[in-house]
């Protein structure tokens, strides 16, 4: 069998099923009375954790390719990114439905008034155009350059996601800081790589410019 076929028939479906395992485990816990004393909080935290994990895994693809030449990973980046979006939708749904009971006025007030929710909601909004332009047809329509520029929004989603978590905790910053450290490493790699490849840009431009 040809390599492409192996990827399409076996590797991708396996990855797809694996990426659904966190959800399957959550459903299993829900059906077996295993969500603890505050199930809504459990569901909300759990889905949020998986958004961050999928975001970081997606953002790890480029550094891994550059560092180890694992270019094959590129085939799976879209699926990983879409799963980050999928869990972000579940995360928001658990908030809007289970926590806020779909009371729109309360949700709007929360989003406007609570900085950590504002940031989280902004991240969800930023993920929508990325998911919507994830098809091959959309890449062709936008053109590679514009598509790539748009998809750099994911850096802001990553930063926003970590900030969202940091602003939520009461005093124990350890977990959000672990996510933050991994994110800094992944984004820092891009910056470093850019500087090394093209020293002129870095000298002339700001850090943000270099990132782009």
Partner 1 sequence: MLIKKIVTISSSEITPREVYQQRRRFLREAGALAVAGVGATLLPAAGVAGQKFPNLRKSPYSLDEKTTTYKDVTSYNNFYEFGSGKSDPSERAGNFRTFPWSVAIEGEVKKPAVYQMEDLLKHHPLEERVYRLRCVEAWSMVVPWVGFPLRDLIRRVEPTSRAKYVEFTTLLDPAQMPGQRPGLLGAGLDWPYVEGLRLDEAMHPLTLLAVGLYGEVLPNQNGAPIRLVVPWKYGFKSIKSIVKIRFVEKQPLTTWVRANSREYGFYSNVNPAVDHPRWSQASERRIGEDSLFSPKRKTLPFNGYADQVASLYAGMDLKKYF
Residues 78-107, one symbol each (x = binds partner 1 by CB under 8 A, - = not), give -------------------xxx-x-x--x-
Q: Which position among 168, 184, 191, 195 is part of the footprint of partner 1 (CB under 8 A)? A: 168
Query: What is the DSSP secondary structure assignment for residue 72, as one 8-state letter?
Result: G
- Is the distance from CB of 58 to CB of 122 less than 8 angstroms? no
Q: Which position among 145, 172, 206, 208 is part of the footprint of partner 1 (CB under 8 A)? A: 172
Q: How is 107-142 classified by DSSP, letter by letter?
A: HHHHHHH-HHHHHHHHHHHHHHHHHHT-SHHHHHHH
27 binds partner 1 (CB under 8 A): no
- Quick one: CA dihedral 130, 86, 154, 10, positive or negative? negative
Q: How many residues bind partner 1 (CB under 8 A)?
A: 27
Q: Which position among 11, 12, 15, 39 is part of the footprint of partner 1 (CB under 8 A)? A: 39
Closer CB to partner 1, 97 or 156, in the complex: 97
- Is the distance from CB of 87 to CB of 57 less than 8 angstroms? no
Cβ partners under 8 Å of residue 39, min gap 6: 30
- Enumerate residues 176-195 that contact partner 1 by CB under 8 A: 177
173 binds partner 1 (CB under 8 A): yes
> Which residues of this chain interact with partner 1, rule CB under 8 A?
30, 36-41, 43, 97-99, 101, 103, 106, 110, 114-116, 167-174, 177
């Amino acid at each position: 069998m040809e390599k492409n076929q192996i990827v399409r028939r076996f590797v991708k479906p396996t990855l797809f099923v694996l990426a659904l395992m966190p959800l399957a485990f959550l459903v299993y816990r829900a059906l077996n009375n295993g969500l603890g004393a505050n199930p809504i909080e459990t569901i909300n935290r759990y889905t949020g954790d998986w958004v961050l994990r999928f975001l970081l895994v997606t953002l790890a693809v480029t550094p891994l390719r550059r560092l180890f030449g694992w270019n094959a990973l590129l085939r799976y980046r879209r699926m990983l990114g879409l799963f980050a979006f999928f869990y972000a939708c579940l995360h928001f749904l658990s908030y809007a439905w289970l926590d806020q009971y779909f009371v729109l006025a309360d949700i709007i007030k929360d989003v406007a008034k609570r900085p950590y929710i504002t940031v989280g909601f902004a991240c969800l909004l930023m993920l929508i155009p990325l998911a919507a332009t994830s098809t091959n047809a959309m890449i062709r329509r936008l053109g590679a350059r514009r598509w790539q520029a748009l998809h750099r929004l994911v850096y802001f989603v990553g930063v926003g996601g970590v900030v969202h978590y940091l602003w939520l905790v009461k005093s124990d910053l350890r977990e959000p800081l672990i996510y933050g450290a991994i994110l800094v490493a992944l984004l820092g790699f891009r910056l470093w790589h850019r500087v090394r490849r093209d020293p002129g840009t870095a000298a002339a431009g700001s850090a943000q410019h270099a990132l782009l």
